[in-house]
């Protein structure tokens, strides 16, 4: 199994310059490779007899035209950059890709810069990058203390964002299956909370409200600067400082929610053998103005992604309910399904004047809590 560990790097001043130069070198290789690829592709379009560009031919062209200053940097940065560029071009010819489009040039003013290497090693709990020829001063980079560094290290991604350095460390590890508990559960996802058989998990805790207010404040300031100064606004120092603060708060929100999701999914795969969740069309649900922001903040897609790979890791079964399965409209006691004016919406039922958390079955007369009723209906699919 591949387990990716995101850790923070604490380089000294010398290694900061090295990391920044490697980030700049990857951007240079990407832009030079993309320009070469575009020229070769245009020539192939005009003259079909000419060979179609590939990662191999573009890489050979860049290596042949290397400058003297490039030999002071890691050669693997160029190799892996052209490999990623080749994958981007393959995705361009496959319109089924979610982010389909032609590869674009990298910008120096982009808030995130990074590079890749497959020659990094972990030595005494520190990250050691490959040292180019002729380099005398070289240091290992200190990592976060909480990092789990067990396994075989693969291609490492290092990037800089808001003045902080991070590394994505993919390890090839062997994971043992969790102990079987013979217990089953179902998870009903809602805006702000997830319901399951043993309780409720709050995905939007109160401490996020202050961060969301600050995010809204910074967004208004940036929008006002763009209205007043136009295209010149993004080049100002105050604009960059405000944008860095905005990105910092977004990062804090993401870290808080990811921590909640990771702990909750680990609890599920530890305590239960079979887990049922809904296969929701989240993108279609976000197209409406009703609760679209809450749907985006509740991270339905991330929850399913994390739970899927953890079930594969530990040998647990994940069951996806059909997106048309009426878990909310069905009565868990008698099986009656509401239809027409009896249906429950996010605001409840206006015709019968019921609240959004109430489920009243007009067939058997039972009154249930809406979320618990949905969990009970999902459990019937096991």
What integer pLDDT is reported at residue 291 of this predicted model?
67
Residue that wins the pLDDT comparison between 104 and 132: 104
What integer pLDDT is reported at residue 367 of this predicted model?
84
pLDDT tens readout for residues 281-307: 766 666 666 667 777 788 888 999 999
What integer pLDDT is reported at residue 105 of this predicted model?
95
Domain ranges of the chain: 2-172, 184-321, 340-379
What integer pLDDT is reported at residue 235 of this predicted model?
83
Average pLDDT over every residue of 259-263? 93
**CA separation for the pair 199, 187 (Å, rounded):** 10
Q: Which of 279, 300, 330 is nearest to 193 (CA)?
A: 300
Quote the radius of gyration of the chain (alpha carbons, Å).
Answer: 26
What integer pLDDT is reported at residue 72 of this predicted model?
87
What integer pLDDT is reported at residue 364 of this predicted model?
82
**CA separation for the pair 162, 150 (Å, rounded):** 28
pLDDT tens readout for residues 36-82: 999 998 888 888 877 888 999 999 999 999 998 998 898 999 999 99
The DSSP result for 168-180, as a single string, is EEEEE---PPPPP
% of the chain exceeding 70 in pLDDT: 97
What integer pLDDT is reported at residue 288 of this predicted model?
66
Report in angstroms the alpha-carbon separations of 179 from 173, 270, 271, 316.
19, 8, 9, 10
Residue that wins the pLDDT comparison between 165 and 151: 165
* pLDDT band at 126; cut points 50, 70, 90: very high
* pLDDT band at 280; cut points 50, 70, 90: confident
**pTM here?**
0.78
What integer pLDDT is reported at residue 52 of this predicted model?
83
Residue that wins the pLDDT comparison between 280 and 86: 86
């Amino acid at each position: 199994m591949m387990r990716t560990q995101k850790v923070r790097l604490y380089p000294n001043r010398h290694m900061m310059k090295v990391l920044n130069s490697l980030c700049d070198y990857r951007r240079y290789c990407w832009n030079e490779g993309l320009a070469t690829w575009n020229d070769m592709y245009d020539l192939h379009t005009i003259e079909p007899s000419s060979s179609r560009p590939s990662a191999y031919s573009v890489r050979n062209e860049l290596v042949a035209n290397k400058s003297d200053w490039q030999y002071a940097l890691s050669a693997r940065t160029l190799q892996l950059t052209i490999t990623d560029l080749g994958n981007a071009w393959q995705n361009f010819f496959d319109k089924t890709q979610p982010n389909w489009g032609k590869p674009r040039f990298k910008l120096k003013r982009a808030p995130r810069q990074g590079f890749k290497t497959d020659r990094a090693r972990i030595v005494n709990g520190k990250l050691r990058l490959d040292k180019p020829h002729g380099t005398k001063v070289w240091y290992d980079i200190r990592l976060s203390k909480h990092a789990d560094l067990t396994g075989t290290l693969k291609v490492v991604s290092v990037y800089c964002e808001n003045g902080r350095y991070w590394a994505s460390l993919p390890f090839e590890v062997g994971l043992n299956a969790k102990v079987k508990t013979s217990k089953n559960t179902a998870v009903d996802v809602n805006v702000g909370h997830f319901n399951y058989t043993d309780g409720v998990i709050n995905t939007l805790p109160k401490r996020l409200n202050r961060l969301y207010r600050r995010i809204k404040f910074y967004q208004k300031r940036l929008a006002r600067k763009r209205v007043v100064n136009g295209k010149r606004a993004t080049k100002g120092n105050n604009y960059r400082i405000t944008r860095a603060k905005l990105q910092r708060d977004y990062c804090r929100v993401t870290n808080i929610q990811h921590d909640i999701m990771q702990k909750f999914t680990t609890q599920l795969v530890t305590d239960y053998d079979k887990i049922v969740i809904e296969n929701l069309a989240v993108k279609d649900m976000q197209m409406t103005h009703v609760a679209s922001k809450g749907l985006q903040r509740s991270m339905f897609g991330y929850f399913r992604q994390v739970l899927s790979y953890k079930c594969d890791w530990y040998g647990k079964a994940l069951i996806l309910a059909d997106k048309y399965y009426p878990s909310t409209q069905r009565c868990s006691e008698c099986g009656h399904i509401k239809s027409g004016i009896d249906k429950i919406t996010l605001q409840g039922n206006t015709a019968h004047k019921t609240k959004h958390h109430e489920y009243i079955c007009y067939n058997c007369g039972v009154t249930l809590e809406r979320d618990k009723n949905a969990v009970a209906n999902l459990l019937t699919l096991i």
